[in-house]
Amino acid sequence: MSAISEDQAALRRTWEEHGCVVLEGTVPDDAIDRLLEDLARAAAEGDDRLLARTPEDPDGYVPLRAGAAVEHVADPHAHLAAARDLLLSDALVAWLRLVFDAEPLLFRALAVERGEAQGPHQDSAYVAVSSPQALVSAYVALEDAQEGSGELVYWEGSHRVPEHLFSGRYKHWNPERDGDAEHEAWRRELEEHVAELPRRTFLPRKGDVLVWSADLVHAAAPVTDEGRTRRSLVAHYCPVGVEPAYFGYREDRRTTVAYNGGRYASEHHDLEPEPAPPEEEEETIPTAAEQQAVRAERRQPSGAEPSGQPLRRRSGGLVGRVRGILGDR
């Protein structure tokens, strides 16, 4: 890893001690406003490219219909450049590269309109990657957060609580394999583990970013004011070389695209593969016979036709290369 600045070193110490860092004001307002305008236009006019969860469709994602009451949009970065600009911003990519010591891969995201209560949990139990501890999550505030909106809460240092392995082996909970009873037991364990740890409520200003590690215990407070929004982006990352679980069962979702020092993928959308770089032409070495033919041509009197017409007419190609080689001697 290359040398880091004093500010980066301080953030790294906070990361290791608390399991998270806040990158204050790292996303400019104009970039956020572009995304909010895109999302508002899509909600008003409809946009079949975007997949949304609505009160009418609480259990899945449907193409965004005009006038729908949107709760959140899945993987907006797949189609909206403004979302990519925020989720792979300069500051966020720089931090993720410092954490991973590798190029970051954005592989899942939500554009959240309204919050909802969630109990204490760790992302490593629900977001599966091939190396569980290489998972990092981020919350990008698209507006000033307010109490009562289902705001994010977390427990400092909770990334170091005793590890729970489902079925005695797995970081990731699988309902068919592990069952609901073990899931509830794990949730009770978490509540016991964090009881004595500092509980923090994240009330960011527009443009702030919270980044947290795979095992940080966090939750969402109850929504006590239904009129309040919690506009934000929530995203998951891993290093390039580590694979999201869906890469294993969705071959058509393995495409990744380079963007601003990172890469992105999508669980819900087809992405256009990057064009392959043009192949370099191999320099051909003229044979001894070809070199001899060029020498013979050079010895011909001016105006005479050499034997070997095809070679003369390829003066921009093979003959030019042969002459270059001979001229270097």
pLDDT in tens, 305-325: 545 444 444 444 433 333 343
H-state helical runs in the chain: 6-18, 29-45, 81-87, 90-100, 175-194, 246-249, 288-299, 309-313, 318-327
Q: Where are the domains of the chain?
A: 6-264, 288-327
Name residue, tokens 């923090």.
200
Torsion sign over Cα 122, 127, 131, 136: negative
Name residue, tokens 């392959």.
276
Cα separation of 269 and 51, whole Å?
9
109-141 pLDDT tens trace: 999 999 999 999 999 999 999 999 999 999 999
Low-confidence ranges of the chain (pLDDT < 70): 1-2, 276-278, 280-285, 290-291, 294-329
Is the distance from CB of 213 to CB of 124 less than 8 angstroms? no
Closest to 237 (Cα-Cα) out of 118, 98, 142:
98
DSSP code of 268? S
CATH of domain 6-264: 2.60.120.620
Token representation of residue 171: 């970081």
266-277 pLDDT tens trace: 999 999 887 766
Q: How far is CA 1 from the centre of its chain?
A: 21
